[in-house]
Amino acid sequence: MNLKPKITVVGSINMDLVTITNQLPKMGETLMGSQFKMNPGGKGANQAVAAARLGADVRMIGCVGNDSFGQTLKQHLHDEGVNVSDVEPVTGQTGTATIVVSGGDNCIMVVPGANERVTASFVESKREVIAESDILILQLEIPLEGVQKAVEIASEHDVTVILNPAPIRELPAELIKNINYLTPNEHEYMLLQKGLTETELKEKVILTKGSQGVAFYKEDKEVSIPAYQVNVVDTTGAGDSFNGGFAVALGSGLSVSEASRFGNAVAALSTTKLGAQTGMPRKEEVEVFRKQFEGNEPR
């Protein structure tokens, strides 16, 4: 993996507003919280940071509001090594996720804000960026029309497309046709499989199973790649870390099997630290981690 693949991410950019409390409030109830944190988030931004930390040449296409959150998030992406020339401030608010955490439970309210401006026409204006990419990564936290346009452009220029179908929704057949890899978790897969043919399920789906690893089909046979066993601190962002790692490995010329193993390692390491983006490992960390398992990787 000595190459530096060109990866473009079209997706969401959010500020996560996290309140930690001993008890979730009921409707009309006011409780005291113990901690409050503001963390960079959004599945698009998460996956862009994951790929950039692994050494890829990453460009982010998306929208933030013309508010302080937008300025902070764009600067953060830049500091992480992501090219933000195509992250545009628009009139309005930056997307937010308000998260209340209590013990092992939480409730989340997402306000898309500026992410809703990632429309087909906006994506069309970024045609050249997508066309020059090795890999295009997408999720479903932006309008579906924006996703469709990005896939259309990528298909016209033979760019490999990875769609992380989250949050899950019904996908048009034409969209699925032009996607190379779908990376659902088990919940998303149960809903997604109703709209896919058996051939599409076997040729396109890379199923992420958390602590159980990854599964996919190869030559009509199911392949299961176990996860690395680590001391888990926080699973937030593990799926996004896998997608970033999988994309970088594919873009560097590795097979689907090897890319899945690499993605597994990235995801495992991300769970050993707190936070989504803050917990994502760098390329050197992954290399050191994998060396510990040389000749004895999970199989």
Residue 101 — pLDDT band, cuts 50, 70, 90?
confident
Q: What is the pLDDT of residue 292?
A: 87
pLDDT higher than threshold 60 for residue 273:
yes
pLDDT higher than threshold 70 for residue 299:
no
Residue-by-residue DSSP string for 279-292: TPPPHHHHHHHHHT
Tokens of 45: 């931004």
Domain boundaries, the chain: 6-23+35-291
Name beta bridge partners: 160: 135
Q: What is the pLDDT of residue 2?
A: 53
Tokens of 166: 């989250």
Residue 295 — pLDDT band, cuts 50, 70, 90?
low
Q: Which of the two residues, 121 and 229, has the higher pLDDT score? A: 121
Q: What is the pLDDT of residue 20?
A: 87
Residue 293 — pLDDT band, cuts 50, 70, 90?
confident
Phi, psi of 246 (to 5 degrees): -60, -45
Q: What is the pLDDT of residue 75?
A: 98
CA 244 to chain centre: 6
Q: 74-111 burial, b for 16+ CB within 10 Å, e for fewer?
A: bebbeebbbbbebbbebebbbbbbebbbbeeeeeeebe
pTM equals 0.93
Q: What is the pLDDT of residue 189?
A: 94
Active site members: 240
How are beta strands 6-10 and 57-65 bridged, if at all?
A: parallel
* 229 C-beta neighbours (distance < 10 Å), count: 10
Tokens of 35: 């901690």
Averaged pLDDT of the chain: 93
Q: What is the pLDDT of residue 79?
A: 98
The top-level CATH class assigned to 6-23+35-291 is alpha beta
